[in-house]
Chain A
Amino acid sequence: GAVVSQHPSWVICKSGTSVKIECRSLDFQATTMFWYRQFPKQSLMLMATSNEGSKATYEQGVEKDKFLINHASLTLSTLTVTSAHPEDSSFYICSVPGVVAFFGQGTRLTVV
């Protein structure tokens, strides 16, 4: 069964609106979760590290005010894409670290 559940699996939204993506760790508590983004025919790129009870750590070039991360509990991290634009259209995926990484199912975001 799934270790990490990500929701929604796909979403289409209008330009200028915000979209929230949830990542839940089902089997164990996770003080840290990672958010990645993947554009077509490109590799997964780490966007940020979500830390339970403290601020997220963003990778260089990722706007923290645009990609809001909240890790309010040991089993849930959310990524909110604020004021989405077509260039934000991508595949967003979370992971929970362990001996190996466990990935959510991913969210395909299309901004029209």
Chain B
Amino acid sequence: RKEVEQDPGPFNVPEGATVAFNCTYSNSASQSFFWYRQDCRKEPKLLMSVYSSGNEDGRFTAQLNRASQYISLLIRDSKLSDSATYLCVVNPSNTGKLIFGQGTTLQVKP
């Protein structure tokens, strides 16, 4: 079983749609969780950290369920510029050594 699993997609959605990505992780002792965005041939960029209480940043909402070892990302009112690969990332021990999911590809179409 992979340490961090994501549905690779691709998700093809029209502009304005709401789309949700899911991720599961295997290490129940994991300490911190993130969503990163990666554009083609570029480095990953932090989108948001994920907290048990849930957190929102504009059109993006992230949620963590520690009991189910499940992380989600919701994107509302999708824009063309949201097209990218979204990486679910887990820091098992707060050492900075990150475990990446395969990434979920989103393509927003006009």
Contacts of A11 in B (CB 8 A): none
A31 to B8, CA, bound (A): 34
* Segment with Cβ contacts to B, from A14-22, A41-49, A72-80, A81-89: A41-49
B34 part of interface (Cβ distance < 8 Å): yes
Contacts of B100 in A (CB 8 A): 36, 43-45
B17 part of interface (Cβ distance < 8 Å): no
Contacts of A105 in B (CB 8 A): 42-43
Contacts of B45 in A (CB 8 A): 103
Contacts of B97 in A (CB 8 A): 34, 46, 49, 97
Minimum Cβ distance to chain A for residue B73 (Å): 16
Contacts of B102 in A (CB 8 A): 42-43
A95 to B100, CA, bound (A): 13
Minimum Cβ distance to chain B for residue A62 (Å): 14
A32:B103 contact, CB within 8 angstroms: no
B54 part of interface (Cβ distance < 8 Å): no
B26 part of interface (Cβ distance < 8 Å): no
Residue numbers of B with Cβ under 8 A of A are 4, 8, 34, 41-46, 49, 87, 95-103
B42:A106 contact, CB within 8 angstroms: yes
Contacts of B46 in A (CB 8 A): 100-101
**B44 in complex: contacting residue of A42, A103, A108, CB < 8 Å:** A103
Minimum Cβ distance to chain A for residue B19 (Å): 20
B98:A101 contact, CB within 8 angstroms: yes
With CB as the reference atom, state the residue of chain A lying closest to B8: A41
A106 to B42, CA, bound (A): 7
Say yes or no: A44-B49 contact (C-beta < 8 A), given A34-B96, A95-B98, A98-B96. no
